[in-house]
């Protein structure tokens, strides 16, 4: 029987190369790389088989194309391997950061291949409406299943079923002009498709108990360094994610909020950073090491303040959460948050008893004078405004949020916490820019905080757009926080009058490519950078003052 191991990747490293050669030499299977080369070539050694997957491949094979399709649909990599080896009996699909800690890889793979199952995955289970991907499958089948995708196994029949069903769904999506948001991801589609086809499917742990454990195999928690993995004695378990170098650092940034929010004590923070520093070479990655030092100090300060780690309790109708926490050395305090979508990236913080973006909140705390006024541009659900109104002695809070739906959520949260006497809500439902007009807004599902304005002054535009100078012309503002994505430059230009006269402190969140442009614009008004941090890869939060 022929068995294929396909490694899904868009990068290459020495550690990945070592892992691929180990699979080739000790698994008795055909090992190949399925490389996403939409953003550049993946330089694989000539003796390793590489299959290229790109939008041309999708078009040629009748597969749907939308934004970030190869992140969303890992099963496309399976389809690429299946199309190249249609006579194979079994297919394994592994993420490039998945490792198997086995004394005998041939025996490990054979155990599952001989199980009689057509599809095996981690966390294979029926799925309810609580999962954000459920609705993308419900129009296709009522029986929604889910799984976790870093390692999956397929019989040739399962691989064929997945390919044919994806192709059929592509035709339906195009014929009915269905929204791209409804294209199902890999974890929902593959699990549901094989069950609908009547194939045998199960969780890996059903075949070999404890081969996948949550402490070793996860998505958003602490990554494992390659050097840590290599020290573990063979235990027949699967690990994910296992990374090294810059990839390890990037994963740390991506998962940092999830990692640190579970560590309430300063000793816990020091211990986790001691582990992190042992895996990041200071000489090889000096900038990354310096940021991690800064991040450690910030996390320690956050715990010293006592404001960010708390408990959450859902107190009404499944939507209102009470967050209990400690402010400094005072007694426990409570705030309320209306959570419209508990799966939303930002709103989910309230369900975990935490405020979002402590880096920015600490900057506000340092800059806002007692009895001062705060302007929140891009307020979203009111996270920062509630913090300012509740924990700081702000006199006025000006709240601005362009997304009409989130504007209502924000207003609700201000009222729930009895901040209506401090809150000025003239900016709710209004977008800021460098000129008056109208626009539309597009908000991705699951993270409406990354919503973007477009179609300025088109016939169907419905969001009023104003200059900040115009909307807040008579307002005394001490600190303004601006989080508006790529609109940051236009928004700043719209405040040029206020910046020239009142000179409020500014806290701006932006992508790295805007850094020099922002600094150049603000410097003409006498602004300088006070401090800066990078809470997410490719993004910065910077504080400016004159």
pLDDT at 318: 62
Of the candidates 433, 423, 444, which has an alpha carbon nearest to the alpha carbon of residue 376? 423
Q: What is the DSSP letter of 222?
A: P
Query: What pLDDT band is residue 323 in, cutting at 50, 70 and 90?
Result: confident
Query: What pLDDT band is residue 455 in, cutting at 50, 70 and 90?
Result: low
pLDDT at 456: 57
Quick one: fold of 356-545?
Answer: Rossmann fold (3.40.50)
Query: What pLDDT band is residue 311 in, cutting at 50, 70 and 90?
Result: low
Residue 283 to residues 227, 247, 288, 289, Cα–Cα distance (Å): 17, 16, 10, 9
User: What is the residue extent of each domain of the chain?
Assistant: 3-209, 213-304, 356-545
Mean pLDDT, the chain, whole residue set: 89
Of the candidates 409, 352, 355, which has an alpha carbon nearest to the alpha carbon of residue 387? 355
Question: Which of 13-17, 254-258, 471-475 is predicted least confidently?
Answer: 254-258
pLDDT at 221: 81
Query: What pLDDT band is residue 328 in, cutting at 50, 70 and 90?
Result: low
Residue 188 to residues 123, 184, 373, 408, Cα–Cα distance (Å): 11, 6, 47, 32
Cβ(76)–Cβ(53) under 8 Å?
A: yes
Of the candidates 364, 365, 342, 345, which has an alpha carbon nearest to the alpha carbon of residue 356? 345
Task: Answer left, alpha or beta for residue 390, where phi above 0 means left and psi between -120 and 50 means alpha.
Answer: alpha
pLDDT in tens, 202-244: 999 999 999 999 999 988 788 999 999 999 999 999 999 999 9
DSSP string, 309-328: --EEEEEETTTEEEEEEE-T
Q: Say if residue 454's pLDDT is above 60.
A: no
Does this model's pTM top 0.85?
no
Task: Tell me yes or no: is domain 3-209 CATH 3.90.550.
Answer: yes
pLDDT at 324: 76
């Amino acid at each position: 029987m022929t068995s294929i191991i396909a490694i899904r990747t868009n990068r290459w490293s020495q550690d990945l190369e070592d892992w691929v050669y180990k699979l080739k030499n000790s698994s008795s299977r055909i090992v190949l790389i399925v490389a996403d080369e939409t953003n550049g070539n993946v330089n694989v050694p000539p003796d390793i088989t590489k299959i290229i997957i790109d939008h041309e491949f999708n078009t040629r094979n009748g597969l749907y194309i939308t934004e970030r399709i190869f992140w969303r649909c890992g099963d496309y990599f399976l389809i690429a391997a299946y199309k190249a080896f249609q006579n194979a009996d079994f297919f394994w699909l592994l993420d490039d950061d998945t490792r198997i800690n086995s004394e005998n890889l041939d025996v490990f793979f054979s155990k599952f291949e001989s199980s009689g199952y057509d599809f095996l995955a981690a966390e294979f289970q029926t799925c309810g409406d609580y999962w954000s991907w459920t609705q993308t499958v419900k129009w296709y089948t009522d029986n929604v299943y889910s799984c976790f995708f870093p390692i999956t196994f397929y019989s040739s029949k399962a691989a064929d079923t997945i390919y044919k069903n994806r192709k059929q769904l592509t035709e339906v999506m195009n014929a009915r002009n269905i929204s791209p948001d409804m294209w199902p991801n890999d974890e929902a589609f593959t699990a549901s498709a094989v069950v609908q086809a009547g194939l045998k499917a199960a969780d890996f742990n059903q075949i070999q108990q404890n081969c996948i454990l949550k402490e070793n195999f996860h998505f958003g928690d602490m990554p494992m360094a390659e050097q840590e993995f290599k020290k573990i004695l063979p235990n027949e378990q699967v690990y994910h994610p296992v990374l090294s170098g810059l990839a390890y650092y990037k994963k740390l940034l991506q998962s940092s909020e999830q990692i640190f929010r579970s560590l309430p004590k300063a000793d816990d923070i020091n211990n986790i950073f001691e582990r992190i520093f042992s895996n990041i070479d200071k000489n090889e990655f000096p900038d990354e090491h310096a940021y991690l030092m800064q991040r450690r100090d910030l996390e320690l300060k956050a715990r010293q303040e006592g404001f960010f780690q708390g408990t959450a309790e859902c107190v009404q109708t499944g939507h209102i959460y009470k967050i209990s926490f400690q402010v400094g050395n005072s007694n426990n305090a409570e705030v309320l948050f209306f959570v419209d979508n508990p799966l939303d990236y930002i709103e989910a913080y309230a369900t975990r008893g935490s405020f979002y973006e402590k880096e920015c909140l600490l900057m506000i705390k340092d800059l806002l004078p007692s009895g001062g006024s705060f302007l929140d541009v891009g307020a979203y659900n009111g996270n920062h405004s509630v913090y300012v109104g509740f924990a700081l002695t702000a006199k006025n809070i000006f709240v601005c949020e362009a997304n009409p739906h989130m504007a209502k959520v924000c207003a609700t949260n201000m009222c729930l916490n009895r901040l209506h006497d401090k809150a000025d809500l003239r900016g709710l439902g209004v977008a800021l820019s460098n000129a008056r007009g109208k626009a539309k807004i597009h908000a991705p599902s699951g993270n409406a905080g990354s919503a973007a304005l477009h179609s300025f002054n088109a016939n169907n535009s419905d969001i009023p757009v104003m200059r900040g100078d115009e909307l807040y012309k008579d307002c005394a503002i001490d600190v303004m926080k601006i989080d508006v994505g790529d609109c940051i430059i236009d928004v700043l230009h719209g405040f040029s009058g206020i910046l020239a006269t009142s000179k409020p402190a500014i806290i701006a969140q932006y992508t790295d490519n805007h850094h020099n442009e922002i600094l150049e614009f603000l410097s003409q008004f006498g602004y300088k950078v006070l401090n800066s941090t990078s809470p997410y890869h490719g993004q910065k939060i910077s504080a400016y003052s004159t």
